[in-house]
Copies of this chain bind each other. A is one copy, B any other.
Amino acid sequence: MSHRTIRVSLPGDATPTSDRSYDIVIGAGAMDSIGAALRSAGARRAVVIADSAIVEPHAARVAAVLGAASIDAAVLAVPAGEASKSVAEAGRLWGELARLAVDRGTHIVAVGGGVVGDLAGFVAATFVRGLPVWQVPTTLVAQVDSAIGGKTGINLTAGKNLVGAFWQPRGVFADIDALATLPRREFTSGLAEVVKYGMILDAEFFHWLEAHAARILTRDATALVHVVERSAALKAHVVERDEHERTGLRAVLNYGHTFGHAFETAAGYGTLLHGEAVAIGMAAAAQLAESLGRIGPDIVSRQQQLLTALELPATVAAYGQLAKPATADELLAIMARDKKTLGGRLRFVLPSRIGHVELVDGVDPALVRRVLGM
């Protein structure tokens, strides 16, 4: 089957010849291309790091494909769930790689959702000061977001992704087939990031999502390829222009995330799925933008309708229904600790219309409290 390919163009990090550009391959059966890709990259060995819940069928299939390409592949399973993004689990994987006598000719292949991609990416970034890593995202949120762009990391008790590295993959294989068997809640959760791309960068894509919501929910393969391809292209566009979050451009991707991370952290990881927290976070951000006079109620409402059509929580009130709500003080304290914060000032990405957002600094905490309805 033919696949779509999105190129992420990145300059060399030391010399013009050390180009770090890579391809995102999208389509049904895309993971079967990984053997040839690693061969071309000169891989001698591979270690597949996979979510324990999907070793069968996905990690086993990847290992078989690598084996067929004459690349020796060991598989390390990571317990499913956000708790695996820990110092302890990173330490365990580092020890396993040492036990396997992994050297710089060994490539890491991450198979799973965002947890495995972030964790395996961080372990790859740091073992012997950096191993090549390939991402095989098997959830929608990983295919449209976390597997692209090189952000890796683990959590501390104090907050999510507080430890990590920018470490670009050598390639991403977004296999649409893997989405067919995702639990419903996990699938729809991934659509929050998709709506986000429409809101922040692409009004036309937002319209397309409005027109095709029902078809997307049936997981029609053609619709899913378009969802993943357009999302990946938008993310690649941003990452190419601000890989290390220096210019502020990459910050647009955090639309809904300052609120969302606070909801997630306060609820305890795993209560709310990341996409659910982001959906509620976008609802909160849109309301905040409205209260600042940056958008009218029509935009708030259209976003709410699209989230609802995609079976996502669509209002701040939904937060109280899905998780034991924290107080506004607790949420504000978490937001002030967010790693994109500078000098403790509240900073939000807020829409000015569909398809465009701006970074707004020094927002009055009283307004944030009002949006939270607390």
Q: CB distance A158 to B95 under 8 Å?
A: yes
* Chain B residue at minimum C-beta to C-beta distance from A340: B104
Is A103 an interface position by the 8 A CB rule?
Answer: yes
Nearest-neighbour CB distance to chain B for A102, whole angstroms, equals: 9
From B104, B153, B339, contact of A104 by CB (8 A) = B339
Q: CB distance B165 to A151 under 8 Å?
A: no
Q: CB distance B165 to A127 under 8 Å?
A: no
From B10, B99, B105, B122, contact of A158 by CB (8 A) = B99
Residues of B within 8 A of A91 (CB): 87
Q: CA separation between A15 and B11, bound complex, in Å?
A: 7
From B11, B162, B164, contact of A98 by CB (8 A) = B162
How many copies are assembled?
Answer: 2
Nearest-neighbour CB distance to chain B for A57, whole angstroms, equals: 31
Residues of B within 8 A of A344 (CB): 101, 103
Q: CB distance A164 to B126 under 8 Å?
A: yes
Q: CA separation between A157 and B96, bound complex, in Å?
A: 11
Q: CB distance B162 to A14 under 8 Å?
A: no
Is A128 an interface position by the 8 A CB rule?
Answer: yes
Is A94 an interface position by the 8 A CB rule?
Answer: yes
Q: CB distance B343 to A44 under 8 Å?
A: yes
From B127, B166, B337, B341, contact of A162 by CB (8 A) = B127
Is A321 an interface position by the 8 A CB rule?
Answer: no
Q: CB distance A156 to B98 under 8 Å?
A: yes
* Chain B residue at minimum C-beta to C-beta distance from A247: B15
Nearest-neighbour CB distance to chain B for A254, whole angstroms, equals: 14
What are 15 A-B pairs at a CB distance below 8 A?
A10-B14, A13-B244, A18-B244, A18-B246, A44-B342, A87-B87, A98-B157, A98-B159, A98-B337, A103-B339, A104-B340, A127-B162, A128-B162, A130-B244, A165-B165
Beyond the given pairs A104-B342, A105-B343, A128-B339, 18 more chain A to chain B contacts, judged by CB atoms under 8 angstroms and listed by A's residue number, are A11-B14, A11-B15, A13-B13, A44-B342, A44-B343, A87-B87, A87-B90, A94-B156, A98-B156, A98-B157, A98-B159, A98-B162, A103-B341, A103-B342, A126-B163, A128-B162, A129-B164, A130-B165
Measured CB to CB, the residues of A under 8 A from B are 10-11, 13-15, 18, 44, 87, 90-91, 94-95, 98-99, 101, 103-105, 122, 125-130, 151, 153, 156-159, 161-166, 243-244, 246, 336-337, 339-344
